[in-house]
Amino acid sequence: VSALTRDEASSSPKPSAFGPFLVEHQIGMGFSGPVFRAFDPENELPVAIKAFQLDITPEQAHALAEHFNRIARIGLSEPGVVTPLSAGVEDTVAYLVLEHVAMESLDVAMRDYAPDEIDRSIKLIAQLASAIDCARAVGTLHGALHPRDVFVAKDSVKVGGFGVVLALEEIGF
């Protein structure tokens, strides 16, 4: 699945909410489904919601959400990690709520801005490695790191998607 541009959207209708989180608009598309920018009214913050529109049973959707909630409870909050905040199930769609980051995914940045200065690239790679090390130190793995999971800005990197592959494997997907 390729990255969405700001003008593209999935063929699925945009939900109005996932649990208490109010959906604003779609910001991306992954292999498992769309990613939305939403608003957390309790904390008055923007969040990102990754919807898992997969061919799974309601029981599998609940097991997936529980796995994501375990990851959120770990408190994975290193500066280079997109922090998982919570998860749930809306109808039969499991969803993962993440810290919202206003950064380009690496696949888009590489397409639009590559090649880059070597000093900047080394700095960003070091930050990426640090985020992966931090997650590993608390027992969380990525499992399938993809440029869509890496977000870059001028001087910083954030990595998301930790624990997703393991959660999908746990439910037999």
**pLDDT single digits (tens) 18-52:** 999 999 999 999 889 999 999 999 999 999 999 99
Give me the pLDDT at residue 60, please.
95
**Nearest alpha carbon to residue 34 among 14, 64, 63:** 14
In this model, does residue 5 exceed pLDDT 50? no
**pLDDT single digits (tens) 93-148:** 999 999 999 999 998 888 888 787 888 889 999 999 999 998 898 888 888 999 99
Give the span between the Cα atoms of 170 and 55, in whole angstroms. 15
Give the span between the Cα atoms of 138 and 118, in whole angstroms. 31
In this model, does residue 10 exceed pLDDT 60? no
